[in-house]
């Protein structure tokens, strides 16, 4: 599903990714680890199409609408409620039975009771839960998750563990994390940036 040959990315003079070769099969689970600034986020953003490589080749055999990307920001509007945010993305992604799916996700991620409150008042953990709802809303076949456990409490982390173990059967996952021990039992491959 993802093939990179000599993939490089520079920001000005700084080379963040240098001639990376990578292959992730369909339904693969790649764990991406490395210290801060090593290129984990850049790799995920390249795969999402949010950045363009400065060298080499990158092929991602999936439509833009079939990608679920979780970045450092939750990508939700602070003036809108969870229902309105997910409705916006649901409409743009043409999610069938949108309302039912939104309700189910909000229920599952423990946000149903705050579904009509503006997200501007949410804690970082609640925003991360909402971001996960956004990512899963359109049932993407490729999930690019950058530090998905960030800001989640124990309950939220356990919930995400269950989601990921279900998702690995039917989706391709690239997960960047500083806590590889948690995901190692699920991952099929590991890419460690130096």
Partner 1 sequence: MRRYLYDVAVLTRKDLILELRARDTVPAMLLFVIAALVVFHFALPAQSSELAAKGLLWVALIFTALLGLTRAFVAEREQRLLDGLLLAPCDRSAIWLAKAIATLAFLAVAELVALPAFALFFSGIDAATIAGVALADLGIAAVGVLLAAMATVSRARELLLPLLFLPLAIPIVVGGVGASVAGGAGRYLGFLALYDGVFAILCWASFEYVVAE
Q: Around 173, how many Cα atoms within 13 Å sit in the side-chain half-sphere?
A: 28
Distance CA(37)–CA(57), nearest Å, equals: 22
Query: Which of 12, 14, 36, 73: binder of partner 1 (CB under 8 A)?
Result: 73
For helices 124-136 and 82-92, angle between their N-to-C axes, nearest 10 degrees: 30
Return the residues of window 20-59 that contact partner 1 according to CB under 8 A: 48-52
Q: How far is the CB of 48 from partner 1 (least distance, A)?
A: 6
Residue 1 C-beta: closest distance to partner 1, Å: 17
State the binding string over 105-144 for partner 1 (x if CB under 8 A, else -).
-------------x---------------x----------
Q: For partner 1, which is the closer residue by CB, 135 or 187? A: 135
Find the helix or strand (DSSP H, E) in which 111 lies.
none
**Closest-CA residue to 191 (of 11, 8, 39, 67):** 39
Stretch that binds partner 1, among 31-39, 75-83, 156-164, 168-176 (CB under 8 A): 75-83
Which positions lie near partner 1, rule CB under 8 A? 48-52, 63-65, 67, 69, 71-80, 84, 88-89, 91-94, 118, 134
């Amino acid at each position: 599903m993802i093939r990179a040959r000599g993939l490089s990315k520079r920001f000005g003079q700084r080379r963040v990714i240098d001639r990376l070769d990578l292959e992730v099969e369909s339904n693969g689970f790649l764990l991406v680890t490395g210290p801060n600034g090593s290129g984990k986020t850049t790799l995920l953003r390249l795969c999402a199409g949010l950045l363009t490589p400065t060298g080499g080749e990158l092929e991602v055999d999936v439509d833009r609408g079939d990608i679920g990307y979780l970045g450092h920001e939750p990508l939700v509007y602070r003036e809108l409620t969870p229902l309105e945010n997910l409705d916006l993305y649901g409409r743009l992604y043409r999610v069938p039975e949108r309302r039912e799916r939104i309700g189910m996700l909000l229920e599952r991620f423990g946000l149903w009771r705050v579904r009509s409150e503006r997200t501007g008042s949410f804690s970082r953990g609640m925003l991360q839960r909402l971001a996960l709802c956004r990512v899963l809303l359109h049932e993407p076949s490729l999930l690019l998750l950058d530090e998905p456990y960030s800001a989640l409490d124990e309950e939220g982390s356990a919930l995400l563990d269950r989601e990921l173990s279900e998702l690995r059967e039917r989706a391709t996952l690239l997960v960047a994390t500083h806590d590889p021990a948690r995901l190692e039992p699920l991952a099929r491959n590991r890419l460690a940036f130096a």
